[in-house]
Amino acid sequence: MSGRLHVAGGTVVTPTGEVQADVVAEDGRIVAIQEPGRPTTADERVDASGLLVFPGFIDPHVHSRDPGITDKEDFAHSTEAALASGLTTIFEMPNAVPPVTSAAIFDERVTHHEAVASVDFGLWGQAIGDENLDDLADLVGRGAVGIKLFWGYALDRETKRLVYTAGDVDPDQLIQPPDIGGVRRIVERIAGAGGLFSAHCEESGIIAAAEAALPDGIRDYADLLAARPSVAEVVAVSAATEFARETGCRLHIVHVSARRTVELLRVAQAEGVDVTGEACAHYLVLDDRDVERIGPGMKVYPPIRTADDREALWDGLDDGTLSIVASDHAPHAPEDKALPLGVQPAGIQGIETLVPLLLDRMVAGRLSPSRVAAVLSANAARRFRVDHRKGAVAVGRDADLTIVDPDRDWRIDPANLHTKHPVSIFAGFEGRGAAVASVLRGRLAMRDGDPVGDPAGRFVAARPGANA
């Protein structure tokens, strides 16, 4: 198929260090990592002199809204944007229409996405409560990277879309969220199937009460923070952590936003609970004061909190409490994101800004290249069990490489974005360090931000395995 490719003259970066080496790929896999300068009989040569060669970057948290909500985004656009920015694999969240709640829907989704994907992809399954309890083991068996619960969200009975404000909807039209006993049942099932459980952790009762206590509703960003306090996250995370502790289920906490959550995860990990934490670029780069500059479009759940929370997230990233960085790409139509803070949908675009934002912090010395290799590739591959294929520059693995120029300056110009709606809360941000080429299964797939060749992304299944 793809012949032989030789990436020459670069510095290969792994979680354990950097080494000057050439990488040779054949038929999609890495076949040699060798001293620089040795000739090969390659069909294609990529000159990586002066550049860093990372294992292909992975974004494990993407909502492409496809099928069913494609007025906001679709898989062709989100994966082209992923490719342009230097990602080679994404894991797609399950909450499209219909959500990925059964093996049959999972299979359909694989076919649907493979037709247009520009990068490789894994799929999340979704737990909705007792209605699909019996489907969870099948989803794990299909190779779902994890099972996600949108904790506390009611679903529309017909479309099974998340209902953001259930109070406005006729209860007959809703599937109510599982109560805490129902969540425990879900975790037990996933544990038994050897799967990974993940939840959007914001306790809905705390949020409802906090919102009701605001006399005039949510008028400004301080109101939003008051309505969705850290304690709502901490309470849900602690319950999930206890369920993981008792069942042995692998647990992954997405989009950690609060200092207390980092502290709680640090203790649980030290006690041996199999729990990992995810940081997202927007919580690492921004804090509540940025809303003055960015405006209400900065609204995301959980909310971007204080500078103190942000610093705690960096500490968590430094000591490994948070081991994965993701985008939580969650697009909405620009006109919806222009609505007042209290009524606009939560979620921001981020798939195309994750890599440059983190590389800029690397070039600034905030984290090492090896740590970038870990948090943007190796750790996600291992945690979500695609490490037989992804996450390392090693002989036998898929030849997925992200080639980075640490001296490349960038400026986020929405006009250059590849997403369906070319908007970003990071518009105008400037930085240094960008992916300038990438290799997907042995084929040059991106050069200077432009796709090379036709979309060639393929589904990757998580390998099976038991939980502890």
Q: Is 272 exposed, middle or buried (0-12, 13-18, 19+ CB in 10 A)?
A: exposed
Binders of ligand DOR among residues 258 to 317 (CB under 6 A) are: 300-301
347 binds ligand DOR (CB under 6 A): yes
Q: Tokens standing for 30?
A: 């890495």
Contact 7, 46 (CB under 8 A): yes
List helix spans (H) across 323-447. 334-337, 354-363, 369-373, 379-383
Residue 433: CB partners within 8 Å, gap ≥ 6? 356, 359, 360, 362, 363, 404, 405, 406, 407, 408, 410
Instruction: State the first-to-last Cα distance of the chain, in angstroms, to the nearest integer.
Output: 39
Q: Which uninterrupted H or E stretch holds 46?
A: strand 44-47
* SS3 call for 73: coil
Beta bridge partners, 147, equal 125, 197
Output 352 or 398, the one with its CB closest to Zn ion: 352
233 binds Zn ion (CB under 5 A): no
Output 226 or 346, the one with its CB closest to ligand DOR: 346
Output 46 or 284, the one with its CB closest to Zn ion: 284
Nearest residue (beta carbon) to ligand DOR: 347
328 binds Zn ion (CB under 5 A): yes
387 binds Zn ion (CB under 5 A): no
Exposure b/e, 284-306, CB count within 10 A at least 16 = b: bbbbbebbeebebbbbbbbbbbe
Count residues binding Zn ion (CB under 5 A). 1
Nearest residue (beta carbon) to Zn ion: 328
Output 17 or 205, the one with its CB closest to ligand DOR: 205
Least CB distance to ligand DOR at residue 28 (A): 33
Distance of CA 98 to the CA centre of its chain: 20
Output 197 or 301, the one with its CB closest to ligand DOR: 301
Binding partner selected for residue 89 from ligand DOR, Zn ion, none, CB under the kind-specific 5 to 8 Å limit = none
List helix spans (H) across 116-258. 136-141, 180-193, 204-212, 221-227, 230-247
Binding partner selected for residue 347 from ligand DOR, Zn ion, none, CB under the kind-specific 5 to 8 Å limit = ligand DOR
Rounded CA gap, 176 and 128, in Å?
9
Output 135 or 328, the one with its CB closest to Zn ion: 328
Output 337 or 443, the one with its CB closest to ligand DOR: 337
Beta bridge partners, 115, equal none
Count residues binding ligand DOR (CB under 6 A). 8
Spell out, one character per residue from 61 to 90, where the chain touches ligand DOR: x when CB under 6 A holds, - when not. --x---------------------------
326 binds ligand DOR (CB under 6 A): no
Contact 300, 330 (CB under 8 A): yes
Local structure of residue 94 (DSSP, 8 states):
S
Write out the DSSP string of 386-397: -TTTSS---TTS
Least CB distance to Zn ion at residue 332 (A): 13
Options 346, 394, 427, 436; binder of ligand DOR; rule CB under 6 A? 346
Least CB distance to ligand DOR at residue 328 (A): 6
Binding partner selected for residue 394 from ligand DOR, Zn ion, none, CB under the kind-specific 5 to 8 Å limit = none
Binding partner selected for residue 103 from ligand DOR, Zn ion, none, CB under the kind-specific 5 to 8 Å limit = none
Q: What are phi and psi of 254, to 5 degrees?
A: -80, 160
Q: Which uninterrupted H or E stretch holds 450?
A: strand 450-451
Least CB distance to ligand DOR at residue 132 (A): 19
Output 264 or 326, the one with its CB closest to Zn ion: 326
Least CB distance to ligand DOR at residue 244 (A): 20
Options 200, 250, 385, 397; binder of ligand DOR; rule CB under 6 A? 200
- Name the residue type at position 253: I
Output 199 or 244, the one with its CB closest to ligand DOR: 199
The number of beta carbons lying within 10 Å of the beta carbon of residue 40 is 16
Least CB distance to Zn ion at residue 314 (A): 21
Q: Is 323 exposed, middle or buried (0-12, 13-18, 19+ CB in 10 A)?
A: buried
Binding partner selected for residue 346 from Zn ion, ligand DOR, none, CB under the kind-specific 5 to 8 Å limit = ligand DOR
Binding partner selected for residue 301 from ligand DOR, Zn ion, none, CB under the kind-specific 5 to 8 Å limit = ligand DOR
Binders of Zn ion among residues 261 to 320 (CB under 5 A) are: none
Rounded CA gap, 265 and 275, in Å?
7
Options 251, 330, 341, 363; binder of ligand DOR; rule CB under 6 A? 330
Q: At what angle do helices 204-212 and 230-247 cross, to 10 degrees?
A: 170
Which residues contribute to the site for ligand DOR (CB under 6 A)? Answer: 63, 95, 200, 300-301, 330, 346-347
Which residues contribute to the site for Zn ion (CB under 5 A)? Answer: 328
